[in-house]
Amino acid sequence: MDTHVGSVDGPSPAAVNGAVGCPASAPGCPIMSSHPVVSAGEASLGRHLARRLVQVGVSDVFAVPGDFNLTLLDHLVDEPGLRLIGCCNELNAGYAADGYARARGVGACAVTFTVGGLSVLNAIAGAYSENLPVICIAGGPNSNDYGTNRILHHTIGIPDFSQELRCFQTVTCHQAVVTNLDDAHEQIDTAIATALRESKPVYLSISCNLPGLPHPTFTRDPVPFFLAPRMSNKMGLEAAVEATVEFLNKAVKPVLVAGPKLRVAKAGKAFVDLVDASGYAYAIMPSAKGFVPETHPHFLGTYWGAVSTAFCAEIVESADAYLFAGPIFNDYSSVGYSFLLKKDKAIIVQPERVIVGNGPAFGCVMMKEYLSALAKRVQKNNTAYENYKRIFVPEGHPLKGEANEPLRVNVLFKHIQDMLTGDSAVLAETGDSWFNCQKLKLPEGCG
């Protein structure tokens, strides 16, 4: 079954399995013995950054021009593998990069100093909360302005230029302020690598006078770098699977629930493979909708406590064992912490950690490897799904709206349901649209 839904399983082949800058078929990234020599005029920081973005799978950068980033944008425009997409404002650019990262595995936006950086901040904070690798590039002050006690435009009117950096420190996993060329390539590479490794946004500020300056470190094409994929501790993985198999195989009616951290763990396919191998019924948490197929015969719907899809909560909460893969239990997803779940019946699987019941807990266990290994060991049990079929009553189809009748919500969403195809993506804002979109049945491939 093809389970590449909403790109939950990660980036395009250019940046898959942690191998950055490698052909899709390459098992690793050798350091090439010969790389094309770049002419002195092209041996610049701006070109290096542009090439790095292309290497990791970014082909579109969402930008708002400003005088601090104009030179840098010129170099991004000159890169054949990049397309610069102008946005009406920085917040739009940040959210576009967020969506791009969801679909492609990594995104990038470019803004100007402070007046642009503070404007994009909310989108970057959202990407941080959603575990999305977004590279936020800000054009910074001229390197000669640092330490001069001057007040610059586009700032808050003080000679301290660190306000933007301090704001980004709380919503990015790494920050780099490039003010000289000697270590610029290392700072850029570290920032990009950290974003991919941590699956979080990073902040990269580049002084406005540097992008076009040549430097010996840029005289060759960037050597492809390699991000070693995170691997489970083998003994920990085996122990976690053993404890889980014992826990699940003695259960009468176990179920599975997919959570939003399936995406950062790139474990969507492994989750569905476990469904197929186990025969368990499975549900999704509301913020995981679109991450796994809803066309699978054992799909129950959205588990959301008292406001779950019809008959879904009854099956999940009456189960004697439930495995949650990548959950986030906040007040919203748990309906004010009103879930009727018991810890001693739950297996909680996070991207790198497994907790079985009231214990034990296993660290350094990668979710994707764990679910794949579990699929080979767990016994078939479709009792929960059979119980669901016994109590399930199909929803009635809403009547069509009559002429001159006020539009009803159920009629509106019937039309939306009919519009959806496997090439669609649904964007649902928190509130009424979120609640009603949970009732939509997404076709295969619809994110």
Structure tokens at 100: 């791009």
For the chain, the structural domain boundaries read: 45-218, 234-391, 400-446
Query: 353-356 and 346-350: which strand pairing?
Result: antiparallel
Q: Cα(394)–Cα(402) distance, rounded to whole angstroms?
A: 24
Q: What is the CB neighbour count within 10 angstroms for residue 33?
A: 5
Q: Which residue stretches of 116-207 are H helix? A: 117-129, 163-169, 184-198
φ, ψ of residue 325 in degrees (nearest 5)? -100, 105
Q: Under 8 Å CB-to-CB from 108, ≥6 apart: which residues?
A: 53, 58, 61, 62, 97, 100, 134, 135, 136, 137
- CATH architecture for residues 234-391: 3-Layer(aba) Sandwich (3.40)
Fill in the DSSP letter of residue 345.
G
Question: What is the helix (H) or strand (E) element at residue 83, kind and residue range?
Answer: strand 83-86
Task: Identify which of 403, 401, 441 has the alpha carbon closest to the alpha carbon of residue 424.
Answer: 441
From the number of C-beta atoms within 10 Å of its C-beta (0-12, 13-18, 19+), residue 361 rates as middle
Fill in the DSSP letter of residue 303.
-
Q: Cβ(254)–Cβ(313) under 8 Å?
A: no
Q: Under 8 Å CB-to-CB from 88, ≥6 apart: which residues?
A: 64
Please list, residue by residue across 376-414, b when 16 or more beta carbons sit within 10 angstroms of its beta carbon and e when fewer do: eebeebbbbbebbeeeeeeeeeeeeeeeeeeeeeeeebb
Question: What is the helix (H) or strand (E) element at residue 317, kind and residue range?
Answer: helix 312-318
Per-residue confidence of the chain (447 residues) as pLDDT tens digits? 333 333 344 444 344 333 344 333 333 343 333 456 766 667 899 999 999 999 999 999 999 999 999 999 999 999 999 999 999 999 999 999 999 999 999 999 999 999 999 999 999 999 999 999 999 999 999 888 777 778 777 777 777 788 999 999 999 999 999 999 999 999 999 999 999 999 999 999 999 999 999 899 888 777 776 788 889 999 999 999 999 999 999 999 999 999 999 999 999 999 999 999 999 999 999 999 999 999 999 999 999 988 898 899 999 999 999 999 999 999 888 888 888 899 999 999 999 999 999 989 999 999 999 999 999 999 999 999 999 999 887 776 655 677 788 888 888 888 899 999 999 999 988 888 888 888 899 999 998
Q: Cα(147)–Cα(159) distance, rounded to whole angstroms?
A: 8
Residue with structure tokens 């549900």?
283
CATH class of the domain comprising 45-218 = alpha beta
What 3-state DSSP class applies to 389?
A: helix
The Cα-based distances of 234 to 264, 364, 370, 375 in angstroms read 21, 9, 10, 17
Beta-sheet strand order (sheet of 255-258): 299-302, 281-284, 255-258, 322-325, 346-350, 353-356, 361-363
Concatenated DSSP letters for 234-297? HHHHHHHHHHHHHHHHT-SS-EEEE-TTHHHHT-HHHHHHHHHHH--EEEE-GGGTTSS-S-ST
Q: Cβ(282)–Cβ(322) under 8 Å?
A: no
| Type of residue at 266 | K
Q: Cα(218)–Cα(447) distance, rounded to whole angstroms?
A: 40
pTM: 0.84
